[in-house]
């Protein structure tokens, strides 16, 4: 049911785009107005969300420690998994962002006969997540051919290496195949593993379907339902130079592709996809574990409230503590004890 809800939502988006591309003025709306609105919401929402996060104070060091902390000189520290310096944190973040290191440590729990609980290494999620994200990046960078004139030079080498096998015309891009394969894996994983399906919500399936739809319409457009790329580039280049025009016949499929991308941009800042910004903002990743070397003072402490040590606490309440029979570190002065009796 949770799968169906998400699927229906994406199919509804496709139908909206199909219909809107047919009615007069619809193409203009989808192609010349909506992209600006969606892009503005994407940027605005993104900044707003990051600022919102930045407003939460994180007074204390709360990094996840996955290795030996900095300790005595003869105990070897795990500098990446429990960094105590800025350099260590930077190293940890770089590996996390570029190689998904924490996902590499993903384990899978399994109950075997006995019953015995066994944790095994599980690298598939890491592998396919990495493939998915990098091919997504390659595809988006390659799309820069539609948005730049003169074309940024890296596009040519991307296209060359991506089409190295020279299959068919237009040349088949390996990244397209890997992209669709990887996103299918990520989806099937949620369906097939009982425990993952149990915790999956429509908000997990929806972005998968949406991105799958974007990839599928793009691939249909390139390899099957050909479109007039020159006419499309006039529109897309027009969009980024603030003079969008629709010349000639652009296939309906392009508007479905574009509409789904716009939906993704609008959805992005308000969804789990914000992990794009969130990974940099996680205090559990971006802080050094140096609480033993540096004193971290809570910034919202009231300066009028002075520190109250146990010694002074006992000084203040010793009489009552003794009366109540509580143990004290320093006995009452003898004279006072007498008079108290």
Partner 1 sequence: MYGKGRIIPALLIFLGLMTFPLWYNAGFAHQAPKPEKPAEYKECVRPTQEMRTSHMVMLNQWRDDILREDGARKGVTADGTEYVRSLQNGCMHCHANKKKFCDTCHTYTAVKPYCWDCHLEPKEAM
Residues that bind ligand HEM in the complex, under the rule CB under 6 A = 136, 139-140, 142-143, 146, 170, 173, 176, 179, 214-215, 218-219, 221-222, 229, 232, 236, 254, 257-258, 261, 264
Q: Which does 19 bind (CB under 5 to 8 A by kind): ligand HEC, partner 1, ligand HEM, none?
A: none
The Cα-based distances of 317 to 198, 310, 313, 334 in angstroms read 55, 10, 6, 17
The Cα-based distances of 328 to 58, 110, 307, 311 in angstroms read 36, 52, 20, 10
First vs last Cα of the chain: how many Å apart? 76
Residue 20 tokens read as 């809107």
CA distance 160 to 168: 14
Residue 237 sits in the site that holds partner 1 (CB under 8 A):
yes
Q: Which does 37 bind (CB under 5 to 8 A by kind): ligand HEM, partner 1, ligand HEC, none?
A: none
Min CB(167)–ligand HEC separation in Å: 10
Residue-wise DSSP of 169-235 = TTTPPHHHHHHHHHHHHHHHHHHHSHHHHHH--HHHHHHHHHHHHHHHHHHIIIIIS---HHHHHHH
How far from chain centre, in Å, is Cα 337? 65
Nearer to ligand HEM, 75 or 140 (CB): 140
Integer-rounded Cα radius of gyration of the chain? 29
Nearer to ligand HEM, 6 or 219 (CB): 219
Residue 172 tokens read as 């088949």
Among 84, 200, 217, 234, binds partner 1 (CB under 8 A): 234
Nearer to ligand HEM, 254 or 267 (CB): 254
Q: Which does 145 bind (CB under 5 to 8 A by kind): ligand HEC, partner 1, ligand HEM, none?
A: partner 1
Ramachandran quadrant class, 10 (left: phi over 0; alpha: psi -120 to 50; beta: rest):
alpha
Q: Are 164 and 174 in contact (CB under 8 A)?
A: yes
Residue 168 sits in the site that holds partner 1 (CB under 8 A):
yes
Residue 230 sits in the site that holds ligand HEC (CB under 6 A):
yes
Among 8, 12, 37, 47, binds partner 1 (CB under 8 A): 47
The Cα-based distances of 35 to 176, 213, 253 in angstroms read 24, 18, 16
Least Cα distance to 38 among 233, 251, 267 occurs for 267
Q: Are 175 and 162 in contact (CB under 8 A)?
A: yes
Min CB(26)–partner 1 separation in Å: 20
Say which residues have a Cβ less than 8 Å from residue 62's Cβ, sequence separation at least 6. Answer: 283, 284, 287
Among 2, 190, 197, 233, binds partner 1 (CB under 8 A): 233
Among 93, 180, 216, 240, binds partner 1 (CB under 8 A): 240
Min CB(258)–ligand HEM separation in Å: 5
Residue 169 sits in the site that holds ligand HEC (CB under 6 A):
yes
Stretch that binds partner 1, among 7-15, 205-213, 237-245, 323-331 (CB under 8 A): 237-245
Among 80, 130, 171, 245, binds ligand HEC (CB under 6 A): 171
Min CB(265)–partner 1 separation in Å: 10
Under the rule (CB under 6 A), what is the footprint of ligand HEC? Answer: 169-171, 222, 229-230
Under the rule (CB under 8 A), what is the footprint of partner 1? Answer: 42-43, 46-47, 50-51, 54-58, 144-152, 155-156, 159-160, 166, 168-171, 226-231, 233-234, 237, 240-241, 247-249, 251, 277, 280, 299
């Amino acid at each position: 049911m949770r799968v169906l809800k998400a699927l229906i939502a994406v199919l509804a988006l496709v139908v909206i785009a199909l219909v809107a591309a047919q009615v007069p003025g619809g193409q203009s709306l989808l192609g010349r107005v909506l992209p600006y609105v969606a892009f503005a919401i994407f940027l605005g929402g993104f900044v707003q969300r990051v600022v919102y996060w930045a407003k939460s104070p994180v007074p204390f060091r709360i990094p996840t420690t996955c290795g030996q902390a900095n300790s005595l000189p003869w105990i070897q520290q795990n500098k990446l998994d429990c960094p105590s310096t800025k350099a260590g944190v930077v190293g940890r973040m770089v590996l996390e962002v570029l190689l998904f290191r924490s996902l590499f440590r993903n384990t899978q729990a399994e109950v075997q006969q006995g019953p015995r609980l066994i944790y095994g290494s599980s690298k598939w999620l890491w592998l396919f997540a990495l493939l998915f994200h990098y091919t997504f990046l390659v595809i988006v960078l390659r799309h820069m051919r539609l948005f730049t004139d003169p074309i940024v030079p890296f596009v040519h080498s991307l296209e060359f290496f991506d089409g190295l096998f020279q299959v068919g015309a237009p040349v088949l891009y390996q990244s397209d195949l890997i992209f669709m394969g990887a996103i299918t894996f990520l989806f099937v994983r949620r369906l097939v593993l009982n425990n993952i399906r149990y915790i999956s919500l429509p908000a997990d399936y929806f972005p998968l379907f949406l991105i799958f739809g974007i990839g599928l319409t793009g691939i249909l457009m390139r390899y099957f339902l050909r479109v007039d790329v020159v006419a499309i580039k006039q529109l897309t280049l027009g969009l980024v130079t603030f003079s969008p025009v629709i010349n000639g016949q652009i296939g309906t499929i392009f508007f479905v592709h574009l509409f789904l991308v716009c939906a993704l941009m609008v959805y992005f800042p308000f969804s789990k996809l914000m992990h794009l910004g969130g990974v940099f903002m996680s205090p559990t990743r971006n802080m050094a574990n140096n609480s033993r070397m540096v004193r971290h003072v809570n910034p919202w402490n009231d300066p009028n409230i002075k520190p109250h040590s146990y010694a002074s606490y006992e000084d203040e309440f010793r009489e009552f503590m003794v009366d109540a029979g509580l143990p004290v570190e320093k006995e009452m002065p003898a004279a006072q004890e007498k008079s108290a009796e």
